[in-house]
Structure 1
Amino acid sequence: MSLRSALTNRLVRRYLRRLQNKRSILDPASLAALPEAALLPLRRDGVDPLPAMDELRGRAPVSRLPIPGVRVWLVSGHEEARQVLSDVKSFSNEFTNLAAAAGLDADHQPGGLGFRDPPDHTRLRRLLTPEFTMRRLNRIQPRIHEIVAEQLTRLSEAADTTGVVDFVEHFATPVPTFVICELLGVPYEERGAFQEFSASRFDVLGGISGSFGAISHSHDYLGGVIARQRDKPGEGLLGGIIRDHGDEIDDEELIGLADGVLTGGLESSASMLALGTLVLLRDREHFEALRDAADPGPVAAALVEELLRHLSVVQTAFPRFARADTEVGDVTIGKGDIVVVSLNAANRDARLGPDMNAFDPSRTPSSPHLAFGYGIHRCVGAELARVELRAAFPDLAARYPNLRLATDPEKLEFRKLSIVHGVTELPVQLN
């Protein structure tokens, strides 16, 4: 066992012992004891927000969540969400705030950009952003199409004798896994570890110990990847940052950035591919319009943007913490209060246009969707996700023009309580 592994495992064991003695508001027992209204931002009815969320947003786009011991506000209105997400003077993302409020170990920083404030956030994002410009993404775009084509072939190979196959296992998950491996510059044979690290941290039913255990194992693994890249920088994102900025970023910061790219780019894209395909097959006119288009590019672009808005698979933004008393809408949020922004509720705000709960690729909302967040913490990999989705859906429709669901949509099992919404299996008939 490496020194890094030994130290990491020791930290994990120490952290879990602390949790046994000090209950976190995020552990399974505490979650089970919360009022149902407190879990509203993490629940769905299939792909849709619960009716209670629509009712709450219409009545009070900024409202208190009934969580004992802490003051937590839910922001579900679109205008109010944009205000909170863009106001870095009034709201902080620093992890130490969450640790203090939730009874977590403040030393166990998850890393990445989501739990950092400027100037650290500004410095680290400056290192990462150039790797996600369209010029850089155009370099790997042909490889993305190759990955999609390879997995479309494997879909057929994995199907049973009746042509039925699980779309989640054999397409929606492998495609972004291979893309992230390509982007980071790590071996494809290690994709199994990537998928495990990504999925386990977003399952809130597993409790905070499970999520933080996944983060610890992920960081340990990525530490080894980065050590190899330090020794011999490759052509991927990690090698590029090390070559260009090796002295400006230490290993822990680089592990955090890599981990953020891994988890942000894998699980959310996998859910978008699975749930997006469900939406298209449940209402086949949109699938057929894509399949039959002489030029599928514009059709796919419109479909993807509406799917991003309609599904908003990342249910909530990183929590914010009020630095001072702040007015949001007609509510005063007190200094030290926690603010949770519901992205899926904000994207369905009736003030944006008519029938916002419907899927309509022809719509033009009055304001852009918030599926990738907003402000300085907007997802740095937003354009990569768009490139993947715009490649996958047209190629899927062209390769399997008669694709259809192989089960009653009412029988599908969705995640019951999660930060990233998804479906566990999606049986499809290929022919």
Structure 2
Amino acid sequence: MTTDIGPDVAALPPLPQGASGGCPFAPPAGTAKLQEESPLAKVSLPDGSWAWLATTHELVREILTHPGFSANPRSEGFPRWNLPGGTDLPMSMTHADPPLHTELRAMVAGAFTPRRISRLRPDIERITLERCAAVEQLPQPFDFVTEFATPIPAMAISLLLGVPTDALEFFERNVRLVLAHDDLASAERDQAKLALLEYVMKLIGQKRAEPDDHLLSKLMTDHPGLSDLDLVSFVALLLFAGFSTTAHMIELSALTLAQRPELAERARKDPSVIPVLVEELLRYHAVVRDSPRRAAVEDIEIGGVTIREGEGVIASIQAANWDPAAFPAPEMIDLERPRGPRHLAFGHGIHVCLGVGLARLELEVVLEHLVTRYPDLRLAVPVDEISFRTTTHLHGCYELPVDLGLRNTRS
């Protein structure tokens, strides 16, 4: 452990947070300057601590693959200023290092193979079509976040877990409340958490008694030593890592299509570009903001500096995805972008998102239906009146009033 005295935190530039001051999807103000002048810089954090901030694609990739960095929030120096629970976070794949991480990931990897994900396509198609039918009956405009973007990934996760049909509405509603707006009454959110916990425990009991081929049963069958608490932790990880990010990407993608109708027109005329559009939207929006976070467990030479054991690092995926050295003109959504580095929206290295295949499938299906069914999709308010999540861990919209324009397309 190093005994070096830390920097004068008050003299450090603050961690860039909040709005960019221009495009609501761009990295926070100050990011580009750091990226150009000091791509691996010491920054002060809101709680009075400090950490290294990496802002280039190359550095972020290197940090996320280096074995000398720990993902465990209990590690000394880990940047945890706004993590709920601080060092008391329950252990999960997200926070584990090898060999525990390897063991935990292997337990659930089988549920996310390309073959198993492809088998979900008919269900994702059905869920999306049901949502389309539902919102077409609503008075226009309506809130796209609560009526469309949120239910689809919630229902997808429920399918993965094997939630019975008669409980789908209950499950989706409570998931939505638990992960709802920051200003939702805490009592209402706590009530939803309790209802969801009680239901998941009940579901675990049902799966133990009558196993099926869904994820929970597979975990129990393949790993009989897992406790109910272990299984609840896995469900929580799926909900927070696999639901919120996809929901925000769906709403931000719809917002972009409403703003950029030429993109929707291109995809409508040539559906083969939809996967390309999905990848560009993932890069452009990068809903994960102030993470991944790591702590050095040894002295590491990287980016021309030495990160000492016990020092924290923030690898900014959002900044990396807007790095002009990797993605020329990153502020543009370019469907002809030359083949080059891959975006890091799903992370990189051993902690790359396990549900990447499911997220891509959902986004491709949703975009296909949005561009084909709603050529006149438009925002119901100016962009500068939309309330964005600029101070939370994930970027997205609190609300997104849209009009499907059905008066112009259907009787």
Residue in 1 aligned with 2:6? none
Partner of 1:167: 144
Alignment correspondent of 1:85: 64
Name which of 152, 169, 184 aligns with 2:161: 184
Aligned partner letter, 1:62? L
Cα deviation 1:120-159 (Å, max 9, x = unaligned): 110110011110111101221100000000000111122x
Secondary structure (helix, strand or coil) at the match of 1:352 reads coil
The letter of the residue matching 1:409 is V
Question: Residues 251, 102 of structure 1: CA spacing in aligned structure 2 closer, same or farther, 3 A cutoff?
Answer: same
- 1:257 aligned to which of 231, 234, 237: 234
- What does the per-residue CA deviation read over 1:142-185, in whole Å, with 9 as the maximum and x for residues that have no partner? 00000000000111122x2xx32211111111111111111111
List per-residue Cα deviations over 1:45-81 (Å, max 9, x = no partner): 5112134211211111111111365341111111000
Q: Shift of residue 42 of structure 1?
A: 5.5
Report the equivalent of 1:278.
Answer: 255
- Letter in structure 2 aligned against 1:333: I
Distance apart, 1:38 and its partner CA = 3.4
Q: Which amino acid aligns with 2:334?
A: D
Question: What letter matches 1:137 in structure 2?
Answer: I
Letter in 2 for 1:259: A
Q: Given the alignment, which residue of 121, 132, 157 partners 1:152?
A: 132
Residue 220 to residue 168, structure 1, CA distance change in 2 (3 Å): same
Residue 166 of structure 1 contacts residue 427 of structure 1 at CA under 8 Å; is this kept in 2? yes
Q: 1:73 aligns with which of 52, 56, 75?
A: 52
Cα distance in structure 2, aligned partners of 1:119 and 1:220: 31
Q: Of 125, 139, 148, which aligns to 2:105?
A: 125
Amino acid corresponding to residue 218 of structure 2 in structure 1: G
Contact 1:315–1:344 (CA under 8 A) maintained in structure 2 = yes
Alignment partner of 1:404 out of 367, 374, 378: 378
User: What amino acid does structure 1 have at the position aligned with 2:209?
Assistant: D
The answer to whether residue 1 in structure 2 is matched with residue 53 in structure 1 is no
- Distance in 1, matches of 2:74 and 2:390, equals 28
Q: How far, CA to CA, are the matches of 1:370 and 1:211 in structure 2?
A: 31
CA-atom RMSD in angstroms = 2.9
Q: 1:116 aligns with which of 80, 96, 113?
A: 96
2:41 aligned with 1:63, yes or no?
yes
Give the direction of change, closer, same or farther, for the CA distance of 1:391–1:105 in structure 2 (3 Å limit): closer
The SS at the match of 1:73 is: strand
Distance 1:272 1:129, change over 3 A: same
Partner of 2:16: 40
**C-alpha separation in 2, matches of 1:408 and 1:257:** 40
- Whole-angstrom CA distance in 2 between matches of 1:125 and 1:246: 16
Which residue does 1:28 correspond to in 2? none
Q: Distance in 2 between matches of 1:192 and 1:310?
A: 29
TM-score with structure 1 setting the length: 0.82
Q: In 2, distance between residues paired with 1:36 and 1:304?
A: 37
**Structure 1 letter corresponding to 2:249:** M
Q: Tell me what 2:214 maps to.
A: 236
Pair 212,334 (structure 1): closer, same or farther in 2 beyond 3 Å: farther
1:110 to partner: Cα distance? 2.7
Tell me the number of residue pairs that the alignment of Structure 1 and Structure 2 aligns: 385
Question: Residue 348 of structure 1 corresponds to which residue in structure 2?
Answer: 322
Unaligned runs of 5+ in 2: 1-9, 406-411
CA shift, 1:43, in A, is: 4.7
Quick one: distance in 2 between partners of 1:334 and 1:52? 25
Return the alpha-carbon distance in structure 1 between the equivalents of residues 97 and 199 of structure 2. 26
Q: Deviations over 1:328-357 (max 9, x none)?
A: 211211111111111110111111142112
8 Å CA contact retained: 2:292, 2:316? no
3-state SS of the aligned residue for 2:346? Answer: coil
Shift of 1:312: 0.5
Distance 2:385 2:76 in 1: 37
- Asked whether the 8 Å contact 2:127–2:152 carries over to 1, the reply is yes
Q: Deviations over 1:292-339 (max 9, x none)?
A: 32xx1x211000000000100112333211001112211211111111
Aligned to 1:425: 399
After TM superposition, the score normalised by the length of structure 2 is 0.86
Contact kept, 8 Å, 2:204 with 2:228, in 1: the verdict is: yes
What is the distance in 2 between the residues matched to 1:54 and 1:94?
A: 29
Specify the alignment match of 1:387 in structure 2.
361
Q: Give the Cα separation in 1 of the matches to 2:339 and 2:359.
A: 21
In the alignment, the residues of structure 1 paired with residue 338 and residue 194 of structure 2 have an alpha-carbon distance, to the nearest angstrom, of 42
Contact map agreement 1:110 1:215 (CA 8 A) in 2: no
